[in-house]
Amino acid sequence: MRIGVLGCADIAWRRMLPALVGHPSVEVVAIGSRDAAKAAAFARRFGGEPVTGYEAVLARSDVEAVYVPLPPALNADWTRRALEADKHVLCEKPLTSTARQASELRELARARGRALFENYMFLCHPQHHVVDELLATGQIGHVRSLTAEFTIPGKPAGDIRHRRDLDGGALTGVGVYPLRTALRYLGPGLEVAGAYLKPDPRTGVDTGGAALLTAPDGAVAQLSFGLEHAYRSRYELTGSRGRITVPWAYTPPADRTALVHLERDGSREELLVPPQDQFRSVVTAFVEGVRSGAPSPLTGEALSDQARLVEDLRAAARRGH
């Protein structure tokens, strides 16, 4: 599959482009940036032709799909343009912050016969499939609650997460991961019962936050996230008979065995999950989705459900203030 890249973001340099160029079913043919020198630097390392401007990538007949690693404020617009140019799209999260936009993009992709994926890469790591199996076999009984945390140390002042005009902040930078976790395990129909976003008076973005969600069956989710904290990346599901904990949920190293902890009947068990590069797994899922329509948690109605949760969380935080 011939792929073009719209943007030279840090996540593209560190993670996604190595996964793309290393995949046997992918050829990166063009890397676009508004900065010609940056496009050239990326092309020297990863191959493909350096292109100045995103429109020029979309105009190429040899590009059948694009990877969009742009700031949150730009993702929806360039995803729309890519779909209108009849390209399949793998977009970094969040695809958009409104349910209306997400639904419109999904409908556009359907009408054009193109795949639309939102890159919540952690969903493609097998440790979460282990959790699925434990839940399906009733190992902890009925799920009563979920807690999820994702916090990272402070970034430099120029980082896009500190840019209000680019829709930066803790919610779009890291908070969307716990939200997606709640959506995965508690299902659609979640309601935001309460939320808080800590504002930074210097930049205008939120640097941390928390939310309380309720599910139709009465289960609750407590989520926390932040940009100026010690690193934390975990979730825990508590059921009527036991508990499941994933201690390195969102950024598990590709070369290390992952762990899933199971507690029940007074005992504790560690389940070992073989190392896997979740970024490579995303690329595989995208290729299979384009080629055969294979189902994936990175596409479908979850895109709209996720955007609605982000929208509702922000509304609840405003009411709280």
Q: Are 163 and 187 in contact (CB under 8 A)?
A: no
Rounded to the nearest 10°, the torsion over CA 142, 252, 250, 181 is: -20
Q: What backbone torsions phi and psi does residue 170 show, to the nearest 5 degrees? A: -70, -35
Residue 320 domain-assigned? no
Could you tell me which of 129, 76, 130, 120 has the C-alpha nearest to residue 279? 120
Q: Are residues 113 and 215 in the same domain?
A: no
Give CA–CA dist 26/318, Å, rounded.
44
Q: Are residues 45 and 101 in the same domain?
A: yes
Q: Are residues 148 and 211 in the same domain?
A: yes
Give me the pLDDT at residue 78, please: 98
Checking if the pLDDT of 321 tops 70, the result is: no
Give CA–CA dist 205/244, Å, rounded.
33
Give me the pLDDT at residue 320, please: 84
Q: What residue ranges in the chain does DSSP mark as E strands? A: 2-6, 27-33, 49-52, 65-68, 88-92, 116-119, 143-151, 191-199, 206-214, 220-226, 232-239, 242-246, 258-264, 267-273
Cα 57 off chain centre by? 24
Q: Are residues 41 and 142 in the same domain?
A: no
Q: What's the one-letter identity of residue 235?
A: Y
Token pair 């995803």 in the structure block, residue:
79
Residue 294 domain-assigned? no
Helices (H) and strands (E) in the chain, counts: 11, 14
* Angle of the 176-186 helix axis to the 302-320 helix axis, nearest 10: 120
Structure tokens at 35: 């900065």
Structure tokens at 20: 């793309």
Q: Are residues 61 and 180 in the same domain?
A: no
198 is catalytic: no
Give CA–CA dist 122/291, Å, rounded.
22
Residue 59 belongs to domain with CATH number? 3.40.50.720
Q: Sheet holding 206-214: strands in order across?
A: 191-199, 206-214, 220-226, 143-151, 232-239, 242-246, 258-264, 267-273
Which pTM does this prediction carry?
0.96
Residue 70 domain-assigned? yes
Residue 290 domain-assigned? no
- Residues of the domain holding 70: 2-119
Residue 319 domain-assigned? no
Q: What residue ranges in 230-290 does DSSP mark as E strands? A: 232-239, 242-246, 258-264, 267-273
Which residues are 268's β-sheet partners?
Answer: 263
Q: Are residues 59 and 151 in the same domain?
A: no
- Region 143-161: what's the mean pLDDT? 92
Checking if the pLDDT of 160 tops 90, the result is: no
Residue 199 belongs to domain with CATH number? 3.30.360.10
- Region 168-181: what's the mean pLDDT? 97
Q: Are 121 and 148 in contact (CB under 8 A)?
A: no
What's the farthest any 2 CA atoms get from each other in the chain? 61
- Region 137-149: what's the mean pLDDT? 98
Residue 156 domain-assigned? yes
Q: Are residues 82 and 210 in the same domain?
A: no
Q: Are residues 49 and 90 in the same domain?
A: yes
The total number of structural domains in the chain stands at 2
Residue from 38, 93, 155, 198 carrying the catalytic annotation: 93
- Quickly state the pLDDT bin for 43 (edges 50, 70, 90): very high
Going by the DSSP 8-state scheme, the letter that residue 16 receives in this structure is I
Q: What's the one-letter identity of residue 90?
A: L
Give CA–CA dist 209/197, Å, rounded.
4
Residue 291 domain-assigned? no
Residue 25 domain-assigned? yes
| Predicted confidence (pLDDT) per residue in 244-291, tens digit | 999 999 999 999 999 999 999 889 999 999 999 999 999 999 999 999
Give CA–CA dist 154/166, Å, rounded.
18
| Predicted confidence (pLDDT) per residue in 229-238, tens digit | 999 999 999 9
